[in-house]
Amino acid sequence: METHDPDFLRPVAPHRLKAYTVLFTVVGVVFVGTTIGVGTGLLAPSFTLDVTANLLFGLPVIILPIVLFWKAPGEQRSRLQLGAELTLIYLPLTVGSQLTYELPFLIGHPFNLWTPTSEPGWRWLWWQYGLADQRYGSHDNWIFGLEFVSVVVGTMLFIAWIRLLRRDLPDESRIRCLWLSFLGIAALLTGTVAYYVAEIRAGFSDIGQGAFGLWFKFVGENVPYMILPAFVLYAIYVQINYLTRRVAIGDFAAGGGTVVAKTQAGSRVSR
């Protein structure tokens, strides 16, 4: 029985891979550019920069589903292949968020780096979000705990993603990595929901910058991370279901059984 399916491991078509690369590159350039630009005085920490940077940061999670369904002429993909591609692309997106944005929040919290200031310097990228959600001003211990969990989970997801990229990864190991991915994404989704519920219960008393802070930052930048992960969880379920059946049938056949149906539809076996 074949234990590795190249289409399953690397289902991304070249034109979509280019689009994903462009999206992630834009985020990286904005991240580095604003940090260095404001830190060196090349960019002014203005409202225009605030809008532009946050808009560019929010594009990938919105455009990613559109790119996912962008088929080449004549291309046919199964639900399994769609799920595998969504998983392999979403994991680095959320890992990047946890380890490049949330990690500095976590480290800077006990050093009071995010307190209100008129000269944020290199801290602007993190400081500007604290204008919209004042819980990020280095005084809220609940936010510190939330960021701690996000960073730990992000590290776990990074390790799982690196292993999922291996072509020689056995099915059993792939299943374990997918389960870890499911657990990690579910944990991050739970944290996002708790983050919203806590502020709703507080009557949005911590939200600053008026309608811009509420709808553009607090809602616009975070709600997509409550919607897309639900589809990623289903995509991971589809892969785990397929691989578990494939492993079970392989073990059954190795023990002398006879496979009488394909693994993706019903998977009946007999001796």
Q: Are 103 and 151 in contact (CB under 8 A)?
A: yes
* Displacement of CA 31 from its chain's centroid (Å): 16
* Position 5 confidence tier, pLDDT thresholds 50, 70, 90: low
Residues 34-72 have pLDDT tens digits of 999 999 999 999 999 999 998 888 888 889 989 999 998
Average pLDDT of the chain?
A: 87
Question: Which sign, positive or negative, has the C-alpha torsion 155, 161, 166, 170?
Answer: positive
Identify the pLDDT of residue 1: 40
Q: How many CB atoms lie within 10 A of CB 205?
A: 9
* Position 270 confidence tier, pLDDT thresholds 50, 70, 90: very low
Mean pLDDT confidence for 20-30: 92
Does the structure show a pLDDT above 50 at 6? no
Does the structure show a pLDDT above 50 at 265? no
Identify the pLDDT of residue 7: 57
Residues 7-22 have pLDDT tens digits of 555 667 889 999 999 9
Residues 116-127 have pLDDT tens digits of 888 899 999 999
Identify the pLDDT of residue 99: 95
Q: Which residue has the higher pLDDT, 138 or 265?
A: 138
Residues 66-79 have pLDDT tens digits of 999 999 888 888 88
- To 10 degrees, the CA torsion angle through 241, 242, 246, 248? 10
Residues 85-123 have pLDDT tens digits of 999 999 999 999 999 999 999 999 999 898 888 889 999
Identify the pLDDT of residue 11: 63
Identify the pLDDT of residue 228: 93
Q: Which of 28-37, 79-88, 131-140 has the lowest mean pLDDT?
A: 131-140
136 CB-side CA count, 13 A: 23
Identify the pLDDT of residue 3: 44
Does the structure show a pLDDT above 70 at 216? yes
Q: Which stretches within the chain are classed as H helix?
A: 6-9, 14-40, 47-68, 79-97, 103-108, 124-132, 141-164, 171-201, 210-211, 224-254
Identify the pLDDT of residue 78: 86
Query: Could you give the CA distance from residue 124 to residue 117 in angstroms, rounded to a whole number?
Result: 10
> For residue 133, what are its two tokens?
């959600």
The amino acid that residue 80 corresponds to is: L
**49 vs 54, 128, 129, 134, 228, CA distance in Å?**
8, 10, 12, 19, 27
Identify the pLDDT of residue 221: 85
